[in-house]
Structure 1
Amino acid sequence: MKINQSSRLKAQIEEEIATGALRPGERLDEASLAARFGVSRTPIREALQQLSIAGLIEHRRHRGAVVSAPDPKQLLEMFELMAEFEAICARLASRRMLVSDEVQLKKTLESCRLAAESGDTDAYYYENERFHQAIYTASGNTFVAEQAMALHKRLAPFRRLQLRVRNRMQTSFSEHKSIVEALTEGDGDLAASRAYAHVAVQGERFADLIASINRAAARQ
């Protein structure tokens, strides 16, 4: 029972981190969370331990558990690895994609288009997640897909913030479209390079992301 309850709480807190309701650097007080969710502190403590293992929170001296806010260097390194995972999955998918995978990929692409046109960054975030999952599945490599998804979740709060940068959502959809074109043409190198560029945050994009994180922290 406790395991189920702590897992449910983990999912709820994880969702709040991913949606920005809990911001990077924000303190997670066990007593406050227990009161808000109507549970004892034990399952809250277990949920926070699970989130710590996943890398979404960290324990700091004198502050306790806080939403993980990696320094810029570490964050850049994480995005670099994420970009490599994306490129690997895209290259494999270009060779191994089944008809059903292609149908799902195009379905998620259309959903991304509709969300982008609506201007709803929250809706686009979830459709974007499904789009990337479709590529991971199409790669046919379960291990790489699992690793990519784990890091994808770890970076969720920051990827979500990135979508709030002016015109990023529309640019993201255009990049999705170009990746799908390369995949359906079976061009592995092109699909990989486009997938890498889509996720990598360098130069102005990285500066914009750091600025967004700093603004979020200032609103606490």
Structure 2
Amino acid sequence: MTLFAPPILKTSAPTPRVRKRRAVGRPVTRTEELRLQIADDIVRGRLAPGTALEEVDIAKRYGVSRTPVREALRDLAASGLVEARPHRSALVAQPSLERLRGMFDVMAELEALCAGLCAVNMTPAERAGLETIHAELADLTRRGDESSYTVLNERFHTTLYAGSHNDYLTELTLATRARLQPFRRAQFRTLGRLARSYEEHDRVVTAILRGDKAEAAQAMRSHILTVEDAYERYAETV
């Protein structure tokens, strides 16, 4: 299966400068915004595998300084989207399907553990906050607002990590999510994915509010593995 189509990069085509999206919760830093923009261009096939990523050219292309470029490329290397080379320009990489599946398998287990612990550890205030976010996601789903849903979806999952009340688990889960974030975001470009994502969230939230640890874990595990399937379907189309 080919994860990324290999179109030729047209350097003459103008690229919009990095813009701040309307943040839901914590503001997005310049490095994070740049990382997501470059990741989207790679996942969508605008930057072909093997393309050299010169810091100066990237900074000019996205209208930023070299410092966030350097930090963004380092983060993307951790995701497998970029191949870092000592004393040479980084390259657009092509992560193997096997590696991605392995990462998603680990993510599924980490998030399942978080969700299960939420069912027994979340405070009443945290449960109420989770319900509020879930209701906002329902509204965004009805409106078909993919951009805002993507941002709030990250907050939904982060709320579950915190609700586990296990700092080390939260740290591991956030680190793994950072590596998978470009692929998780791409899933929402498949037809009907917003509605299905919300339905999967609903099963997780319902189990947590019932205090059903086993069901919450299973619902979340199933959700993350479905995210993987959605991404693979999207990758076949680019």
TM-score range normalised by the length of the shorter chain: 0.7 to 0.9
Indicate the SS of the match to 1:166.
coil
**Deviation (angstroms), 1:59:** 2.6
Indicate the SS of the match to 1:100.
helix
Distance across 2 between alignment mates of 1:98 and 1:38: 42
Kindly report which structure 2 residues correspond to 1:113-132, keeping only aligned pairs within 5 A, or say none. 113-132=138-157
TM-score (norm 1): 0.80
Paired amino acid for 2:43: R
Unaligned runs of 5+ in 1: 1-7
**What per-residue deviation string (whole Å, max 9, x for no partner) do you get for residues 43-63 of structure 1?**
6445533543565532369x9
Are the counterparts in 2 of residues 88 and 192 from structure 1 also a CA contact under 8 Å? yes
State which of 213, 216, 221 in structure 2 corresponds to 1:188.
Answer: 213
Paired amino acid for 2:213: G
Q: Which shows bigger deviation, 188-197 or 49-58?
A: 49-58
Distance across 1 between alignment mates of 2:67 and 2:147: 32
Distance across 1 between alignment mates of 2:202 and 2:67: 46
Question: In the alignment, what sits opposite 1:209?
Answer: 231
Distance across 1 between alignment mates of 2:147 and 2:98: 27
2:32 aligned with 1:11: yes
Q: Which shows bigger deviation, 152-161 or 77-86?
A: 152-161
Aligned residues: 203
Structure 1 pair 212–200 and aligned structure 2 pair: CA distance change class (3 A): same
Structure 1 pair 47–128 and aligned structure 2 pair: CA distance change class (3 A): closer
**Deviation (angstroms), 1:16:** 1.4
**Deviation (angstroms), 1:118:** 1.0
Are the counterparts in 2 of residues 10 and 48 from structure 1 also a CA contact under 8 Å? no
State which of 59, 70, 76 in structure 1 corresponds to 2:95.
Answer: 70
Distance across 2 between alignment mates of 1:74 and 1:155: 11
- Per residue, is there more helix in 1 or in 2? 1
* CA RMSD in angstroms, aligned pairs only: 2.7
**Deviation (angstroms), 1:125:** 0.8
Structure 1 pair 81–24 and aligned structure 2 pair: CA distance change class (3 A): farther
TM-score (norm 2): 0.74
State which of 108, 112, 119 in structure 2 corresponds to 1:94.
Answer: 119
Indicate the SS of the match to 2:136.
helix
**What per-residue deviation string (whole Å, max 9, x for no partner) do you get for residues 112-131 of structure 1?**
11111111222111111111
Unaligned runs of 5+ in 2: 1-28
**Deviation (angstroms), 1:21:** 4.2
Distance across 1 between alignment mates of 2:64 and 2:191: 39
Question: In the alignment, what sits opposite 2:9?
Answer: none
